[in-house]
Amino acid sequence: MFAPTCLGRAGGIAAGYLADLALGDPRRGHPVAGFGAVAARLERHTYADDRLAGVFHTAVLLGALAATGAVSEYAARRRGPVWGAAITAATTFVALGGTSLTRTGARMAELLSADDVDGARRLLPSLCGRDPAALDADGLIRASVESVAENTSDAQVAPLLWAAVGGVPAILVYRGANTLDAMIGHRSPRYRRFGWAAARLDDALNVAAARLTGLVVAVCAPLVGGSPADAVLAWRRDAGRHPSPNAGVVEASFAGALGVRLGGPTQYAHQLEIRPTLGDGPAPDLADLRRAVRLSRAVQFVSAALATVAVSAACRSGRRVSPRW
């Protein structure tokens, strides 16, 4: 992919980010929800309490996404660079979820500041899969901060990174893998084996993005009154104790940047997990939740700028940044 094509990709990434910033997730007819519905229907035929069945299920769905992305991008490029930029922008917009994430985090803070704990519990499933009935106001704040942190990487930085590296097919495969992980990648009795492939693939696809997010969090820490050194210290010291190789990096760096302590007992619908503590200081309060939302917005902006600049720089240097499809 040489200059005309990769310049179109850079413009498409920027346009997709700006569209998400302005619009957020579509309220109806979101393509990700459509993919989830297809995956659920396919599961009726492919499910077995077996890893191999899960590998087949994941491969069929993501293979279809890769093929769709490759054909669509090739057809758009044949029509000209504007069409190539347009399909990159549309796909990036669909894959990003950062604006809806921060809007939900801000709404959670509003509800809790009004002592509407029941409303906050109803909102929590929009952020994470924890059992809201088991959480008081402090638990809802901690869950929200941790979810804002983790999803800053999963819903924003990772799609932007894959858009820069692999264009439309890579965006679709990443978003599909992330969706499958949310659907079947947890450790419930039903999905412990069937969801293994989806969970491991999602981990692999997020390795670079989580670490990039940690770096950008450290850079942006002063914007919320935090310290880059504290963010890096918490990351290096605490991330490895988290059960997720990626969420630990992002949550620890957020904890250090905010000067709070995250982690501890975490109640999901299927089980109670005892998480290690991340960072130093007190448990997060409402002000810290608002700071986490502001930090997430800053990280999202910087990540979009980095993705756009990186692709543009590759164009100017005359290098390929992805295979020719």
- Give residue 23's pLDDT: 93
SS3 call for 265: strand
- Residue-by-residue DSSP string for 225-242: T--HHHHHHHHHHHGGGS
Single-letter residue type at 297:
R
In order, the DSSP letters of 88-151 are HHHHHHHH--HHHHHHHHHHHHHHHHTT-HHHHHHHGGGT--B-GGG--HHHHHHHHHHHHHHH
pLDDT of residue 290: 98
Splitting the chain (325 residues) into consecutive groups of 10 residues, what average pLDDT does each group show? 65 97 87 95 97 98 98 90 93 96 97 97 90 90 96 97 96 97 91 96 97 98 98 96 93 98 75 81 96 98 97 74 44
Opening angle at CA 313, ends 156 and 150, nearest 5: 15
Integer Rg of the chain from CA? 20
Residue-range domain boundaries for the chain: 3-317
Q: What is the pLDDT of residue 318?
A: 63
Integer Cα distance of 258 and 111 in angstroms: 21
CA distances from 79 to 75, 301, 308, 310 (A): 7, 30, 22, 25
Which pLDDT does position 177 carry in this prediction?
97
